[in-house]
Amino acid sequence: MGVLRNILNSRSDKGGNFFSILYKILGFKPKNILHYRKAFTHRSLNIKDEKGNAVSFERLEFLGDAMLSAVIASHLFKAVPGGNEGYLTKMRSKVVSRKHLNELGKDLNLIDHVQTNIPKDQFGSNIHGNLFEALIGAIYLDRGYKYCKRFIYERVIDPYVDIEQLEGQVISYKSLFIEWCQKEKREFDFEVYEDTGNDEIKHFAVKLRLDDKVVAKARATSKKKAEEKTAKRAYYALQNKIT
């Protein structure tokens, strides 16, 4: 453990800056700063512990995801006593959506503190949410459930979890469209077709057919994003029918 500690400490800011940064982000003093250094260590550094296990924020991300989900689930269970399992699951998904976690990570400027051999401008947007989850995992290991829960309430639940707003929030227009089609017994198909754009970055083009009629088209940098964008356009075009 001493070797690993020395490696991680050698990449830290001098003069206790990392400790000060953590205190500002967390709102409390960390006990074991090594957990937090791991939470900001990218696998591109190729650091291994004494047993040869890779050291990066990914394992902490897994733990933080579980803790965040548990605290949010507990809050919703108490806040909406009449909500059934399906309702509570959907509401939790809205709170911990990838888009929302990325926004939380951006708000805290977590990417500024990640240690990596990859230029930070080459990371996708999900790095922000991944670091946020890893930070929660580090808090749990360092201070336990009580501090972890307090951080989630201060950073997520108190400022952002409004039951009425969440009920009206759409996580995935594609899922909403598919649910409507299944309910109404309508035929649909997301069709990827040739993109003739001249963009430097490859784009995917998608047509959405409803009962053999094209109701929306869109293009994006991934098939998933193109389908979601297409479904969103279809949703607004058919908003009077889709409820």
Helix (H) / strand (E) element for 209: namely: strand 204-210
133 flagged as catalytic: yes
Q: Binding-site residues for Mg(2+), please?
A: 61, 130, 133
Query: Of residues 112, 133, 187, 195, which has the active-site annotation?
Result: 133
> What phi and psi, each to the nearest 5 degrees, are found at residue 202?
-60, 135
Count other Cβ atoms within 10 Å, centred on residue 110.
23
Instruction: Name the token pair of 194.
Output: 């040739």
199 flagged as catalytic: no
Q: Binding-site residues, please?
A: 61, 130, 133
Query: Of residues 13, 49, 50, 65, which has the active-site annotation?
Result: 65
Give buried/exposed letters for 209-241 (b at 16+ CB in 10 A, else e).
ebeeeebbbbbbeeeeebbbbbbbbbbeeeeee
Contact 147, 135 (CB under 8 A): no
Q: Which residues does the annotation mark as catalytic? A: 65, 133
